[in-house]
Structure 1
Amino acid sequence: KIGWGIAGRYAARNHQLPILIKYIDAKENLSIQVHPGDKYARKHEGDNGKNEMWFVLGADEGAFIYLGFSRDVTKEEVRRRIEENTLEEVLNRVEVKPNEAYYIPAGTVHAIGGGCLICEVQQTSNVTYRMYDYGRVDENGKTRELHVKKALDVLNYHRTEIADLKQRDTMSMEQYIDGMFGRNGKCTLLKYEAEGDLTILLPVSHLTFALVLDGSGKLYAGDSEESFRKGDTWMIHGRATRVSGKCKVLFVAI
């Protein structure tokens, strides 16, 4: 168990932490999927819904993500396109570059293409509805399970404007994204670039994760001093945190 000094306000609750942080290194196109919102997930799955944010750490030339529909569609059309293997024709195909960030709200069809290295910050949930997997089979000749019926229940069928979901692509100033995981807000993201020393004031009663997106340096929190490099993740409790070095760091406070 971890107490208040580590887990902040969540230590007083018999709950899991509200976010998961993953690094996804896609060697091939990942399945096209959608996540439900809280209301549907709790009713049908006994779990949370899932909103998420993607930060692009690396991308091969031409690497892309699918994010939402390129035009308004209907449930019947989506069902037919899944059956006919033409779903990709109505998806936004977005070529990505390092340091870009995208918000994926529940109900938005999405997929990560091969050649993308992504840091994913997501609402804690095990609910994913796979819509299309390119007809791939395993060593036994079996295709992966699809969840088309439930996916069709939760999809946002309207056109997705990429500009509405793409976050500020500069890393040169701090960026606050409050309440990205729903009306009550389950976390705050703060993105910094440091060249030298930088002091950061974090929410005092919160648990904060520091994700090193690029570069290297040292992290000072309380009496602790730790060296870091790209790809490291640190768990911090305390208000004043100092970063020294040339680096890009994402702080996730819950």
Structure 2
Amino acid sequence: MNKLYPIKFKPITQYRIWGGNKLNQAVSDDLKIENLGEIWSISGVEGNISEVENGFLKGQNLNELISTYQEKLVGKKVWEKFGNEFPLLIKFIDAAQPLSVQVHPNDEQAKRLHNSFGKSEMWYIMDAEKDAELIIGFQDGVEKLDYEKHLKSETLEEILGRVSVTKGDAVYIPAGRVHAIGAGIVLAEIQQTSDVTYRIYDYNRIDKDGNKRELHTDLALEAIDFSPIENVKTKYNSTENQFETLIDSPFFKTQIFTGDQEISMTENNEMRIYICTEGSAKFQTQNGGTKLKMYETLLIPAEVDSYKIIPERNATLIEVRVP
């Protein structure tokens, strides 16, 4: 069996009513679409399974890779815990208009109702227009009864928590936390493998067929966590030319690298994912090199025990591991 190598996947483009056109610069002409809201870079979601774009595995999908290579691909710990299910979904999002206000279920609720993982996620802001903001949770003191009252009177916007964001901000959104991406934001998203979303409010927006989008009021009410939020944005160190902890969660651990100097990675023994949010970098192994550009994602199989990261332009990379 041939030895594995750094794997790139064909981007999966997703139309969204709120999508823009900034992500079209990252895909080939045959994948360009109007209102390109999301690029799914690595996906094991049924109906949207990623397909290998490079090397001798080109054309095979992610599920086939896991079934064939098992712990050589994802690492022993991930293989034993998740088996043939890939645990993460990596996306890029371009919000030309605000997304719906929504919430995601935790593992227990998602398993019980949808036979799915829950959906905890994080955002790394790649670009934000002036005054761009996120909706995260509620204003201080809002409880379930307040929420129900405002939902009924259609005044929900009055109690939502809002935070301004700029390029480089990082936000962790555990399952149960109400949230929405505001207009004028481009971001990278790392999340559990799930496409379960409960829409709470959608600005009475009309879709391309002239219909209001479905809301999931009752399901959302079961999922929402009304606990106060101490720090919406995650503080992290940013030291040039070395990896620093970004967000450390039960579902994924992320680090960030910004710089232009070569760095060697050894004693891998676990799957690592790299997301390029700025510049470009080359990943060099004994068997050759793979270039990673902005809006691209690379999977380093657990079997690849050493490699070099060579920034070709001042690069910003997010490294993702599964705990």
TM-score (norm 1): 0.89
Following superposition, the deviation at residue 30 of structure 1 comes to: 0.2
Q: Residue 168 of structure 1 is aligned with which of 208, 233, 236?
A: 236
Q: Residue 216 of structure 1 is aligned with which of 280, 297, 313?
A: 280
Following superposition, the deviation at residue 31 of structure 1 comes to: 0.3
Contact between 1:101 and 1:169, CA under 8 Å: does it hold in 2?
Answer: no
SS at match of 1:196: coil
SS at match of 2:295: coil
Counterpart position of 1:132: 201
Following superposition, the deviation at residue 105 of structure 1 comes to: 0.7
> RCO greater where, 1 or 2, for CA within 8 Å and sep 6 or more?
1
User: C-alpha separation between the residues in 2 aligned to 1:138 and 1:178?
Assistant: 35
- Aligned Cα RMSD in Å? 2.1
Following superposition, the deviation at residue 100 of structure 1 comes to: 1.0
Unaligned runs of 5+ in 1: none
1:243 aligns with 2:279: no
Pick closer, same or farther for the CA change 1:196–1:213 going to 2, 3 Å.
same
User: C-alpha separation between the residues in 1 aligned to 2:208 and 2:259?
Assistant: 47
User: C-alpha separation between the residues in 2 aligned to 1:222 and 1:210?
Assistant: 19
Following superposition, the deviation at residue 139 of structure 1 comes to: 3.9
Following superposition, the deviation at residue 11 of structure 1 comes to: 4.9
TM-score (norm 2): 0.71
User: C-alpha separation between the residues in 1 aligned to 2:248 and 2:185?
Assistant: 26
Following superposition, the deviation at residue 160 of structure 1 comes to: 1.8
1:189 aligns with 2:254: yes
Following superposition, the deviation at residue 138 of structure 1 comes to: 2.3
Counterpart position of 1:114: 183
Following superposition, the deviation at residue 240 of structure 1 comes to: 2.6
User: C-alpha separation between the residues in 1 aligned to 2:153 and 2:180?
Assistant: 18
SS at match of 1:126: coil
Pick closer, same or farther for the CA change 1:159–1:188 going to 2, 3 Å.
closer
User: C-alpha separation between the residues in 1 aligned to 2:191 and 2:198?
Assistant: 15
User: C-alpha separation between the residues in 2 aligned to 1:223 and 1:91?
Assistant: 52
Unaligned runs of 5+ in 2: 1-63
Q: Residue 62 of structure 1 is aligned with which of 128, 131, 148?
A: 131
2:283 maps to amino acid: L
Pick closer, same or farther for the CA change 1:127–1:83 going to 2, 3 Å.
same
* Bigger shift: residues 25-34 or 166-175: 166-175
User: C-alpha separation between the residues in 1 aligned to 2:247 and 2:166?
Assistant: 24
Pick closer, same or farther for the CA change 1:139–1:121 going to 2, 3 Å.
closer
> 1:162-205 deviations in whole A, cap 9, x for unaligned?
x255242636452336751x3xxx43212112222122346x33
Pick closer, same or farther for the CA change 1:222–1:90 going to 2, 3 Å.
farther
Following superposition, the deviation at residue 47 of structure 1 comes to: 1.4
> 1:84-136 deviations in whole A, cap 9, x for unaligned?
33222222211111111100011110000011001000011122111000001
Task: Tell me the number of residue pairs that the alignment of Structure 1 and Structure 2 aligns.
Answer: 248
Following superposition, the deviation at residue 46 of structure 1 comes to: 1.8
Following superposition, the deviation at residue 65 of structure 1 comes to: 0.6
1:124 maps to amino acid: T
User: C-alpha separation between the residues in 2 aligned to 1:33 and 1:61?
Assistant: 24
Pick closer, same or farther for the CA change 1:231–1:83 going to 2, 3 Å.
same
SS at match of 1:244: strand
1:52 maps to amino acid: E
